[in-house]
């Protein structure tokens, strides 16, 4: 392994914060672009897929969402190689443009009702571009910051990059909520959902301006000046037994478990709240957003702590907590919206009908029946009918939405916060852990691949696999949790046995 404790690689304090800020802003925007799709999965399933089977449409949306994750390792190979050949700065400028352009384009695609199956195909293709771009972004940003940071505080400084994934999700939820409040629900479902995608163009332009002012990593400039840039980073990374061993250890001893913990505590939690618990759209987003807001500072806490006690124990503790506590947590979550445990108040039942004109001149009729319960819970059964000018129904939708009372709302926020704390434990130290495994001349490539397989494949497939498991005949709402629990358990055992206690803390070996 490469000793990156070279003092020449550490930037001055003021310059270091500029490096962190420029890297973090761009990475945050890329995460925003990537996650806006997942945050709007419920609505996108109706916009881009056939309406006959809502469950199949939602699973198709999650599969399209997951496709972006699956190609992330390929992006890691392509852009990781480029980053190790031409430098960190220009590589993640390119990834930023690709990500922003594809996100903006998704906001322009007509719905299934207009162009049929061309809609999901186009969305899938753009989602693949997003995945390739993100595959090249994270490794570059983490490497760039790590190669500027002093060795004794590498965990602390790289943890700021680690906050960007969760902050990107938080930003996506915030923009969605602001847009939802700016327009009525019918307009949001018809066209307002496009605004968060289109806003990406503005964010990307701002980030490009910031990143153009960045300088190349000092360690990369050093090896380039010394003529040590490798001609084939892929062969160097995976053709040598020693480096390949580190790649496999990083994947199966750290990033796979970290990936499923990350996506269970945030994205699967959101899917579970919206589709299994049927929590109303705005309230569900508030719950996740508040949990993220409360827990996000702990990425920096655990990143900094890892500089003192090592990366390994903190990451493995986060995995273990998820393994042991996921099922009790999700059972408690489910009980908060389980109407069979509540007392209905028939006398308080209310009905409401709204008629609006759609963007194409059609008539939209929304009928809502509200059922009240003694603890303050409200069940809204919403039936939407879209009729053409002759009064013929062209589409319809029926959904149930549960609105929780404030006491249950805050309990659910607490349960989400606990899960995000597990995320901060596994994710806060992992950038420093990964960059310290590999030498400078192949670091971008070598750390990117296990990270994006662990997060993109093992982690990114979590919502799709978990919801698929719960859709099987005879399955309970909690059977989907066996997937992240199983992956995290295997990773925990491998990491506990094979990750050297000192390897993840300090670097002693030269290249």
Residue where a domain stops, chosen among 369, 387, 404: 404
Residue 510, domain member (yes or no): no
By C-alpha distance, which of 47, 57, 49 is closest to 275?
57
Q: Is 354 helix (H, G, I), strand (E, B) or coil?
A: strand
Tokens of 260: 């499923």
Residue where a domain stops, chosen among 389, 404, 419: 404
Verify that 354 and 488 share a domain, yes or no.
Answer: no
Q: Do the Cβ atoms of 453 and 255 come closer than 8 Å?
A: yes
Dihedral angle sign, alpha carbons of residues 156, 158, 164, 166: negative
By C-alpha distance, which of 422, 424, 442, 428 is closest to 139?
442
**22, 168, 202, 289 from 174: Cα distances, Å:** 22, 10, 16, 8
- Split into its structural domains, the chain has a count of 3
Q: Residues 460-465: what's their mean pLDDT?
A: 85
Q: Is 369 helix (H, G, I), strand (E, B) or coil?
A: strand
Residue where a domain stops, chosen among 353, 375, 404: 404
Tokens of 233: 């980073």
Q: Do the Cβ atoms of 37 and 65 come closer than 8 Å?
A: yes
Reported as a single tens digit per residue, the pLDDT across 285-328 is: 899 999 999 999 999 999 999 999 999 999 999 999 999 999 99
- Residue listed under structure tokens 């999965």: 41
Q: Do the Cβ atoms of 452 and 73 come closer than 8 Å?
A: yes
The pLDDT, as a whole number, for residue 8 is 42
Q: Kindly report the CATH number assigned to the domain that includes residue 187.
A: 1.20.1250.20
The pLDDT, as a whole number, for residue 361 is 66
The pLDDT, as a whole number, for residue 359 is 56
Mean pLDDT taken over the chain: 82
* pTM reported for the whole predicted model: 0.80
Query: Which of 140-154, 273-287, 457-471 has the highest average model confidence (pLDDT)?
Result: 273-287
Residue 4, domain member (yes or no): no
C-alpha to C-alpha distance for 427 and 118, rounded to whole angstroms: 37
Verify that 62 and 153 share a domain, yes or no.
Answer: yes
Reported as a single tens digit per residue, the pLDDT across 478-492 is: 999 999 999 999 999
By C-alpha distance, which of 313, 269, 297, 263 is closest to 421?
297
In this predicted structure, which of 216-220, 306-310, 449-453 has the lowest mean pLDDT? 216-220
**343, 366, 387, 402 from 378: Cα distances, Å:** 11, 18, 28, 6
Reported as a single tens digit per residue, the pLDDT across 87-129 is: 566 676 787 788 888 889 999 999 888 888 899 999 999 989 8
In this predicted structure, which of 125-129, 232-236, 247-251, 254-258 has the lowest mean pLDDT? 232-236
Verify that 399 and 420 share a domain, yes or no.
Answer: no
Verify that 326 and 355 share a domain, yes or no.
Answer: no
Phi, psi at residue 369, to the nearest 5°? -110, 120
What band does 236 get if pLDDT is binned at 50, 70 and 90? low
The pLDDT, as a whole number, for residue 209 is 81
Reported as a single tens digit per residue, the pLDDT across 138-158 is: 666 777 787 778 888 889 998
pLDDT at 65 over 50: yes
The pLDDT, as a whole number, for residue 223 is 52
């Amino acid at each position: 392994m490469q000793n990156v404790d070279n003092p020449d690689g550490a930037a001055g304090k003021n310059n270091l914060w500029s490096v962190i800020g420029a890297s973090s802003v761009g990475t945050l925007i890329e995460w925003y672009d990537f996650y806006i799709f997942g945050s709007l999965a419920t609505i996108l399933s109706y916009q881009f897929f056939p309406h006959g089977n809502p469950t199949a449409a939602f699973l198709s949306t999650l599969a399209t969402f997951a496709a972006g994750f699956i190609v992330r390792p390929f992006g890691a190979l392509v852009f990781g190689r480029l980053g190790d050949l031409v430098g960190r700065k220009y590589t993640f400028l390119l990834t930023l443009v690709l990500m922003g352009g594809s996100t903006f384009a998704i906001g322009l695609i007509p719905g299934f009702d207009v162009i049929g199956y061309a809609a999901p195909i186009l969305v899938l293709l753009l989602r693949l571009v997003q995945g390739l771009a993100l595959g090249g972004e994270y490794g570059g940003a983490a490497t760039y910051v790590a190669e500027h940071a002093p060795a004794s505080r590498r965990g602390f400084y790289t943890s700021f990059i680690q906050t960007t994934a969760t902050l990107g999700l938080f930003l996506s939820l915030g923009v969605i909520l602001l847009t939802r409040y700016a327009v009525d629900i019918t307009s949001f479902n018809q066209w307002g959902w496009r605004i968060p995608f289109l806003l990406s163009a503005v964010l990307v332009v701002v980030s490009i301006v910031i990143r153009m002012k960045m300088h190349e990593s000092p360690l990369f400039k050093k090896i380039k000046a010394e003529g040590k840039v490798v001609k084939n980073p892929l062969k160097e990374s995976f053709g040598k037994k020693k480096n390949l061993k580190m790649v496999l250890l990083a994947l199966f001893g750290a990033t796979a478990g970290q990936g499923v913990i990350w996506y269970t505590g945030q994205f699967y939690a959101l899917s579970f709240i919206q589709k299994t618990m049927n929590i109303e759209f705005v309230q569900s987003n508030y719950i996740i957003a508040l949990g993220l807001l409360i827990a996000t500072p702990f990425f920096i806490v655990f990143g900094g702590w890892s500089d003192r006690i090592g990366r390994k124990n903190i990451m493995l503790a986060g995995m273990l907590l998820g393994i042991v506590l996921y099922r009790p947590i999700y059972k408690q979550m489910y009980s908060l919206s389980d109407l069979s445990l509540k007392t209905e108040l028939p006398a308080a039942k209310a009905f409401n009908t709204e008629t609006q004109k759609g963007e194409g001149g059609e008539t939209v009729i929304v009928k809502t029946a509200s059922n009240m319960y003694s603890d303050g819970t409200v069940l809204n059964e919403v039936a939407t009918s879209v009729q053409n000018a002759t009064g013929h129904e062209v589409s319809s939708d029926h959904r149930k939405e549960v609105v929780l009372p404030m006491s249950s709302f805050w309990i659910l926020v607490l349960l989400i916060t606990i899960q995000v704390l597990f995320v901060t434990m596994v994710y806060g130290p992992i950038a420093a852990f990964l960059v310290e495994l590999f030498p400078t001349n192949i670091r971008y490539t070598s750390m990117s691949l296990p990270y994006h397989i662990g997060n993109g494949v093992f982690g990114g497939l979590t919502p799709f696999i978990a919801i698929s498991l719960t859709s099987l005949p005879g399955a309970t709402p909690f059977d989907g949790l066996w997937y992240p629990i199983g992956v995290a358990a295997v990773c925990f055992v491998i990491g506990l046995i094979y990750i050297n206690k000192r390897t993840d803390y300090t670097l002693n070996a030269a290249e």
